[in-house]
Structures are given as structure tokens and as C-alpha cells.
């Protein structure tokens, strides 16, 4: 389809009462603007144009190369905002779709239908309308006796009779590019000092050309975010949609109302997600897992058949299959737990690889370590990885037994099959198959020589 998309995002969003631009407020964990950007990217291969103004730099920084930017220096209304995109798009033929950045629930299907409607329309524009009981804040769609749309009237300017109309302007339009820019320039300044984009409908009608109105059946889709109350309402709607889709894809959640899954997360079938659990920032969870309650997983990869109870996993962790952890564990960036690793309560792991079968049952800290297979880490073990200046590595080879409360003063290496006694403070490397005890730890015996 020969289509370019303009996203209006220059408004101040005064009603958010915020120093953050409205379109950067998070909805299900992602900035509002991401939703219209994602839809635009699915609709057209052309890079969308975002009209920015208020806090433009902040918006540009978040959007990056996912759009082109047009600057609206002064926010003089939606018609004026669209005109700011002219210099970027005036050579563009075909159709130009205009959506607002504060309408994250508009679906791809609806906008596709809008574009198809305009592709068949001999007139210069098609628009979305909807019916809703609570019309507050929306422009009213006025139809003539022939039932055809002939104007949109903004609430501030509507007569009592017009205010009683319940067909509302959604705020998404698709234009014939050859007509648009000239049409826009004919908009008059309103009594509120703004150029209303909605006035193009009246202009098209006065040109004697028809306007197509496509009705959206689900009013939720047309929800505009103007306040933080709207933001919370949209979040509830979106969360419910996301959770429904996952349940239909084979994921159980006993309480969807308290299960928070961001849009770009992946979850395998037969996984169960218990209440108060957040899956964020592209987290990927395998099949047959039990996650939560009270768990946060961000941008990490969880294998199949893992159990994670009341724990926090930051971005950048990897869990292979059959890992069990919690309650109250914290995995930080670079934590990599091999198959069948078991972490009990109060374990923290950062930038460390724990090979298959490692067991760490009780309150330990492992940082900057490489730990071999089937190592047992006793309660209270700490890798003392920081000497005040730099982070130092700890290496523990296969089949080592670390006694309770061992301090591993890095850099340090514990050889295969070695043991440390309870309370040992290990300041030097330990030979394989050797037992060390005490403070600082010294050799007690070498098991394979029997001394």
C-alpha cells in the first residue's frame, strides 16, 4: 500500500501534570509512543513521521531511528501540527494516515481497514468514528439528512444540540496526499486560537467531495490518554488483552488481574504464572515453568521446567532447564545458571556461571565467579570479589564442597574436589582434592594422599 504515517506528538499533555512528556509515560512498561510506532511499522514500510514540539529532544532520544521528525515550534493545534510534516512528505504520493501518539489501543486491524477504506474512496479523506455514552472531550461527528458526515465539531464549540450527539471523532484519518496540504492550509484559526485538523472535514465537504466514516465497534480502542487516570484505565485494558492471549496460548494464571506481562515477552505452554508477578523488558520464559508469586523477571531467558518463587531477576540473566530458585533470590546481570541448579532462599548471583547441578541452599553471594558442576555452596558463603578498587574473579572447579560461611577472597581458585571448612577465609588458591580450614585458611589434608 502506498502509505505514509504521521504521528502527532507535539502537545504538552498538560493534564498529565508531569515534567515527563505525555508520550513517554509508560503503559505496560513501554513509553506510550512505542504503541503507535509499532502499529505504523506494521502498516507501512516507510519510516513514520513524528511531529514533536514540547520536550522534543527527550522524545527524539527515546524514539531514535524508528521515525523521522518534524518540528512544531508552537503548539497551535492538530491542523497546525500536521502542516509541520509537509516539508518531509510533500513529494509523497498515495495516502497519508494521521494518528495521535496518545491513542495506544488503536489496533493494526482497524487502521488497516481505514487505509483500505480510503484506497477505495474517490474523496480526499476517510476517518474513524465510534459510538460512546460518555462523549466528554471528543469532537462530535455531525451528519446531514442524507446521513453523510459533513463536519466535526469540537466540544468547546458545539451547540447543546451537537453536544447531544454520541457519534465521536476517534482522531485517526487517512488522506489522499494530493489533496491534503492544500486542504490543511485552508483551515481557519478557531476562537480558541488553534488550527483544528478536524476542520478539514468541513473543507472537503465544501469542495463537494465525500468523506468516508468508518465506525470502530470497540470504543476501548479509541481511548485517548489525557490524564493519569486514563493511563491506568488503558493499562487495565491492555493487560487484560495480553493475559487473555497468553491464556489462550497455553499459559495459566490463577489471577490475571495481578499478573503483569509486557507486550514483547515470550512464554512457553504449560507455564503457570502466580499473582503479583511481572514479566518485563522482553523476558523469555520456557515451557512448564512455575513463576511467582511475587516475582519480577526483566529481559532474561528462562529455560523449561524452572521454578522461580518470590524472586527478582534483572535483565541479562540466563537460566537453563530445571533450575529451581527462591524464595527471595536476586539474580543480576550476567548470572548464568546451568541445568538443574538449585538456589534456596536469599541467594544473590551476579556475573557468574554456575554449571549444572550446583546447589546453593541458603543466603550466599556469588559475584564474578565461575563454578563447576555439582559444587555445593554452604550457607552464608561469600565471594569477596571487590577489593575497594576492582572486581576480582573466583574460580571453583567441579565437585567442590564449600563449607558454611566460607569467605572466598578473590582472586582465588579452588581446585577440583577440594573442600573448605566452616568459617574458612580463603585467601590463596586451593589445590585439587585438598581440604582447607581456618582464618586465613590453611591446608588440613590432601584427600587423595591421605595425609
Q: Which is nearer to Ca ion, 154 or 167 (CB)?
A: 154
Asked whether position 9 contacts ligand UD1 by CB under 6 A, the answer is yes
Query: For residues 324-353, which are near Ca ion according to CB under 5 A?
Result: none
Query: For residues 209-228, which are near Ca ion according to CB under 5 A?
Result: 224
Q: Which residue has the cell 527478582?
A: 312
- CB 390, min distance to Ca ion, A: 52
Residue nearest to ligand UD1 (CB): 139
| Candidate ranges 99-107, 124-132, 266-274, 303-311; the one touching ligand UD1 (CB under 6 A) | 99-107
Q: Which residues contact 401 (CB under 8 A, 6 or more apart)?
A: 375, 376, 378, 418, 419, 420
Asked whether position 152 contacts ligand UD1 by CB under 6 A, the answer is yes
- CB 13, min distance to ligand UD1, A: 7
Q: Which of 317, 398, 378, 312 is nearest to 350 (CA)?
A: 317
Q: Which is nearer to Ca ion, 167 or 405 (CB)?
A: 167
Q: Which is nearer to Ca ion, 55 or 102 (CB)?
A: 102
- CB 125, min distance to ligand UD1, A: 13
Tell me the angle at which helices 56-63 and 32-43 cross, rounded to the nearest 10 degrees: 50
286 binds, among Ca ion, ligand UD1, none (CB under 5 to 8 A by kind): none
Q: Which is nearer to ligand UD1, 199 or 322 (CB)?
A: 199
Asked whether position 31 contacts Ca ion by CB under 5 A, the answer is no
Mapped onto helix, strand or coil, the DSSP state of residue 64 is helix
Beta carbons of 321 and 338 less than 8 angstroms apart? no
Q: Which of 32, 33, 76, 341 touches ligand UD1 (CB under 6 A)?
A: 76
Encode 60-86: b = buried (16+ Cβ within 10 Å), e = exposed: eeebeeebbbbebeeebbbbbbbbbbb
How many residues are given for the chain? 451
Asked whether position 21 contacts ligand UD1 by CB under 6 A, the answer is no
75 binds, among Ca ion, ligand UD1, none (CB under 5 to 8 A by kind): ligand UD1
Give phi and psi for 46, each to the nearest 5.
Answer: -75, 140
| Candidate ranges 3-11, 111-119, 310-318, 352-360; the one touching ligand UD1 (CB under 6 A) | 3-11
367 binds, among ligand UD1, Ca ion, none (CB under 5 to 8 A by kind): none
Q: What is the helix, strand, coil percentage profile of the chain, to 5?
A: 25, 35, 45
Instruction: Give me the numbers of helices (H) and strands (E) for the chain, helices first please.
Output: 9, 39
Residue 31 grid coordinates: 513509553
- Backbone conformation region of residue 93, classed left if phi is above 0, alpha if psi is from -120 to 50, else beta: beta
Beta carbons of 318 and 337 less than 8 angstroms apart? yes
Q: Which is nearer to Ca ion, 70 or 103 (CB)?
A: 103
Q: Which of 67, 101, 180, 354 touches ligand UD1 (CB under 6 A)?
A: 101
How far is the CA of 132 from the CAs of 113, 114, 188, 223, 360, in angstroms? Answer: 20, 19, 29, 11, 57
Query: For residues 76-105, which are near Ca ion according to CB under 5 A?
Result: 102
Mapped onto helix, strand or coil, the DSSP state of residue 434 is strand
Q: Which of 107, 318, 141 is nearest to 221 (CA)?
A: 107
- CB 43, min distance to ligand UD1, A: 18
Asked whether position 75 contacts ligand UD1 by CB under 6 A, the answer is yes
Q: Which is nearer to ligand UD1, 101 or 355 (CB)?
A: 101
Q: Which of 224, 326, 340, 347 touches ligand UD1 (CB under 6 A)?
A: 224
Contact flags string 130-149 toward ligand UD1, x per CB under 6 A: --------xx----------
Other CB atoms within a 10 A radius of the CB of residue 87 amount to: 10
Beta carbons of 239 and 29 less than 8 angstroms apart? no
Query: For residues 153-212, which are near ligand UD1 according to CB under 6 A?
Result: 154, 168-169, 171, 196-198
User: What is the set of active-site residues?
Assistant: 362
Query: For binding to ligand UD1 (CB under 6 A), which residues are involved?
Result: 8-11, 51, 53, 72, 75-78, 80-81, 100-102, 138-139, 152, 154, 168-169, 171, 196-198, 224, 226
Query: For binding to Ca ion (CB under 5 A), which residues are involved?
Result: 102, 224
Amino acid at each position: 500500500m502506498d502509505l505514509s504515517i504521521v504521528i502527532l506528538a507535539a502537545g504538552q499533555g498538560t493534564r498529565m501534570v508531569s515534567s515527563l512528556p505525555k508520550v513517554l509515560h509508560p503503559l505496560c512498561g513501554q513509553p506510550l509512543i512505542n504503541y503507535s510506532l509499532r502499529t505504523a511499522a506494521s502498516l507501512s514500510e516507510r519510516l513514520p513521521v513524528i511531529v514533536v514540539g514540547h520536550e522534543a529532544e527527550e522524545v527524539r532520544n527515546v524514539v531514535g531511528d524508528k521515525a523521522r521528525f518534524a518540528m512544531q515550534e508552537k503548539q497551535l493545534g492538530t491542523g497546525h501540527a500536521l502542516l509541520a510534516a509537509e516539508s518531509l512528505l510533500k513529494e509523497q504520493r498515495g495516502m497519508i494516515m494521521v494518528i495521535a501518539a496518545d491513542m495506544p489501543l488503536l489496533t493494526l486491524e482497524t487502521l488497516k481497514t481505514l487505509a483500505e477504506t480510503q484506497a477505495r474512496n474517490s474523496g480526499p479523506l476517510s476517518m474513524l468514528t465510534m459510538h460512546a455514552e460518555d462523549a466528554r472531550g471528543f469532537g462530535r461527528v455531525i451528519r446531514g439528512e442524507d446521513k453523510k458526515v459533513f463536519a466535526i465539531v469540537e466540544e468547546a464549540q458545539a451547540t447543546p444540540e451537537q453536544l447531544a450527539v454520541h457519534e465521536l471523532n476517534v482522531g485517526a484519518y487517512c488522506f489522499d496526499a494530493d489533496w491534503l496540504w492544500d486542504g490543511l492550509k485552508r483551515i481557519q484559526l478557531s476562537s480558541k486560537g488553534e488550527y483544528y485538523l478536524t476542520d478539514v472535514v468541513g473543507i472537503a465537504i465544501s469542495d463537494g467531495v465525500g468523506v468516508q466514516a468508518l465506525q470502530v465497534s470497540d470504543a476501548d480502542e479509541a481511548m485517548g490518554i489525557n490524564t493519569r487516570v486514563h493511563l491506568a484505565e488503558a493499562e487495565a485494558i491492555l493487560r487484560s488483552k495480553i493475559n487473555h492471549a497468553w491464556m489462550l496460548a497455553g499459559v495459566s494464571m490463577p489471577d490475571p488481574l495481578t499478573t503483569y506481562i509486557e507486550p514483547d515477552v515470550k512464554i512457553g505452554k504449560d507455564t503457570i504464572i502466580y499473582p503479583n508477578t511481572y514479566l518485563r523488558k522482553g523476558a523469555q520464559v520456557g515451557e512448564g515453568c512455575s513463576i511467582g508469586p511475587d516475582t519480577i523477571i526483566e529481559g532474561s531467558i528462562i529455560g523449561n521446567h524452572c521454578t522461580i518463587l518470590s524472586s527478582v531477576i534483572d535483565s541479562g540473566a540466563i537460566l537453563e532447564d530445571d533450575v529451581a530458585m527462591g524464595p527471595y533470590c536476586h539474580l543480576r546481570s550476567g548470572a548464568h545458571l546451568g541445568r538443574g541448579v538449585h538456589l534456596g532462599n536469599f541467594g544473590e548471583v551476579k556475573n557468574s556461571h554456575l554449571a549444572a547441578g550446583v546447589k546453593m541452599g541458603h543466603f550466599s553471594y556469588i559475584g564474578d565467579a565461575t563454578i563447576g558442576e555439582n559444587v555445593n555452596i554452604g550457607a552464608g558463603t561469600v565471594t569477596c570479589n571487590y577489593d575497594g578498587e576492582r572486581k576480582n574473579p573466583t574460580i571453583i572447579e567441579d565437585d567442590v564442597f564449600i563449607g558454611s560461611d566460607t569467605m572466598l577472597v578473590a582472586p582465588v581458585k579452588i581446585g577440583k574436589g577440594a573442600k573448605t571448612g566452616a568459617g574458612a577465609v580463603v585467601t590463596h588458591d586451593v589445590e585439587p582434592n585438598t581440604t582447607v580450614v581456618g582464618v586465613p585458611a590453611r591446608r588440613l589434608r590432601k584427600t587423595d594422599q591421605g595425609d
